[in-house]
Structure 1
C-alpha cells in the first residue's frame, strides 16, 4: 500500500519559499526521471502525481545538526540551503533543551514540555505556485487564504498555516513565518498529559506559532515594539474554532533570538 511505503516520511510543500530569490517559473516537462536519494522518482510521483510533468532542477540535502532533510526543487531558482538549514537547526536546538512550561490555551491551563521530534526521513517539495496539491489533500480547497501543508504518508493528515489574521505584516514576512512555522513543527513535539489528541494538536500549533513568529520578525529586523505590534493581530485557530492569541515573548527572550541575516530592511 502506498501509505505504508511512505510511513514515517513527511512531505512539506513550500509554495514560493522566501529562501528562493526571484520569481518562480512555470511548469516544464522533463522526459527522463532522475533517481532521488535512495528511492526512485517514480515512487515519489505515485505519491504526488501532480508533479509528473515537472522538471527537477535540483535536489539535495539540508544538514541540520544530526538531521538530514532532503529537498527536491521543481523551480529554476536555486534554493538558499544555508539559510533554510538555520531554521531547522534553531528549532532542533530549542527542542533539545526540553523546557517545561505552563500556559493558557483558551479556557484551559496546561502544563507542557517540548522535546525533539522522533527521527524520520523528510522531504521538502519546492514547487511553482501554480502546481496543485496532491489529489488526496482536496479538503484544503475549502480555504481561500494562503496555506502551507505538512502531508504525512502515515494517515494523510493535513496541517495549515493561516494568515487571515495577519493583516499588519508584509507578504515577505508571511513567507518567512511559514517556513519558520513548519521548521518548528518538523523539529519539535509538544507534550502534555491528561488531554486528548485534539488539545495536543492545538498545543503544538499554539507553541510553534508563538515561536515561529518572533523568529521571522527577528530576520526582518523588527525591534521588540514592532514585534509586539505585529503579533497582536495574530491568532491561533483551535480545533473548537476559537481564536487564541499566541504567547508574547519577553523583551529579554526576544533579544536572545538569533538573526541569520536573511533579509535587509
Structure 2
C-alpha cells in the first residue's frame, strides 16, 4: 500500500505555473525549475505553462504533458501532449481534475496490477498517437464501453485503457472482460491494470480521438449513452 500512497497522497498545487515529474527512483516530485530535474524522469507535467516553455523541455524527458485550463495553442514537440480541463465538462475544479490526471498516469508505472503491463505498453500508445492534444477520461467500472453503431466504429486512433481497483479487488475476470470490451473503442488499444486506494473500480481512457477536436460532449454521448457521469 505504501507505493499506492506515495502516488495518490502526493499534494499538488495548481494556483500558478507548476512543474511535476515522475521517475522510477525518485517517485513524484515538484520542481521550481527545469535545471533541477533528473534526465531520467518518465513523466513531466507542466501546469498552466507559459507559451515559450516548449523549447526548454525538448529532448530532456520521456513524455511531457501540458495540463491547461483552456486548450492553449502551443508549439508541440515530439512526445509533448496537451490535456485540457475545458474539454472535460466535469463538476470538479481544475486542480482536482489535474490531480487525478497526475496520480493516474504515475500509477500506471508504479502501481500496475497486471505483471505484463509495463512502460513498454504505455510507450506503444504514446509514440503512435497522431495528435498532440489527447483525451483523458475516468469512467465508472460498470459503464458500457461498446461504441454505438457496432464494433467497427472506433472512437480513438490510439487508446490506453487501464482498469483501476484497490489491492483487495485485484484484477478479477470481469476486469479482464472490461479491458476486452475497451478493444472496440480504438483502432489500436493497449489495455492494462493498476491499483488505486479507492473502493470503487474505474477505467481510465487516454488517447487521440478519430474526430480530432470533437467536443467532449459528443464523445461522452458515444461512450456513455444514458450512463453515469465521468468520475475524475
Instruction: From the two aligned structures, give the one with the greater helix fraction.
Output: 1
Q: Which has the larger radius of gyration?
A: 1
TM beyond 0.5? no
What TM-score do the two structures reach when normalised by structure 2?
0.30
